[in-house]
Amino acid sequence: MSPSRKALISITSAQATLFQGKETTGLFISEALHPFKVLTAAGFEVDLASETGKYTPDWLSQQPEFLNGDDLKIWNDPNSDFRRKLDNLHKASDLDKSKYGLFYASAGHAALIDYPTASSLQKIAEEVWANGGVVASVCHGPAIFANILDKTTGEPIIKGRRITGFTTEAENTMGIMAELRGWNAEMVEEVANRLGATYERSAGIWDDFHVVDGRLVTGQNPASATSTAEATVAVFEGL
C-alpha cells in the first residue's frame, strides 16, 4: 500500500538570541513556507507541528532579502492557510503518527537547540520511514536526525547515506560559531559524521543545493527549501 498523501512539516519550538543578543532566532519562515506551498500544490494535506505546539519567528528570516513578494503577502495575512496553521500549531505528541507519508523538517538556527531531543517529532519521522514514506530536512533540520532510528536495524536512518545541511563554513562566515557553541549545539556536519552519514555540500555556502538518497532528501540552506521540497515530492511519486 502506498504511503498516505499527508505531510507533516516540523517547526522548531526553541528560541534564542544571536549576534551578541541583538536578534532572535526561531523558525526560519521560508523554510516552512516554501515546502508548504510545494506540498499543497502537489495535492498533499499538510500539517504543521512543533514539539511544544509553539514557535517564534526568526528575525533574519523576516528581512526583505528572505521574505518578499507573494511570500511576504502570505506571511502578513493572518487568514492565509499557512499562517492559520502556523499560528495554531499542533503539538507533535497529539498527532497520530501513522497517518503521515511524508515528513519535512524545516529549521532555523534554533532547531539546533530542540530538534536533537524532540522525541515526539522524531517518532513521527520514524513511523513515516518505517511505513515506506519520505523523510526530508533543510538547513539546520538534520539536527532532528540525532535520534531518528530505522526500526528494522536500530541504526540512525542517515547512517551510510548522503545528506546535506547548513555548512560549518557558513556559521563561521556569519560570525556566530562561539554563540552556537554556547548552546552546546552540534553542527550539521558534525551530526552527519557522528551518525555515519556522508556530508555533501555545494561549493558556495548560499547555493541552492539538495541531496537525494533513496527516501531521504536534504537541502543545504534557506535557498534550497523549494528545490528540496520538489525533490521530496518527486521521490514520493516514485514510491
Please classify residue 146 by burial: count the beta carbons closer than 10 Å to its beta carbon, then call 0-12 exposed, 13-18 middle and 19+ buried. Answer: middle
Q: Among 126, 171, 179, 230, which one carries the catalytic annotation?
A: 171
DSSP state of 117: G
Is 65 designated active site? no
Q: Are strands 23-25 and 16-18 parallel, antiparallel or unpaired?
A: antiparallel
Is 109 designated active site? no
Radius of gyration over alpha carbons of the chain, in Å? 16
DSSP state of 197: P
All three cell numbers of 179, joined, read: 554563540
**CA–CA dist 30, 139 (Å, integer):** 11
Which spans in 20-100 are helix H? 29-41, 69-76, 81-87
Is 45 designated active site? no
Q: Among 139, 186, 210, 230, which one carries the catalytic annotation?
A: 139
- Amino acid at position 129, single letter: W
Q: Among 140, 179, 186, 189, which one carries the catalytic annotation?
A: 140
**Active-site residue numbers?**
139-140, 171
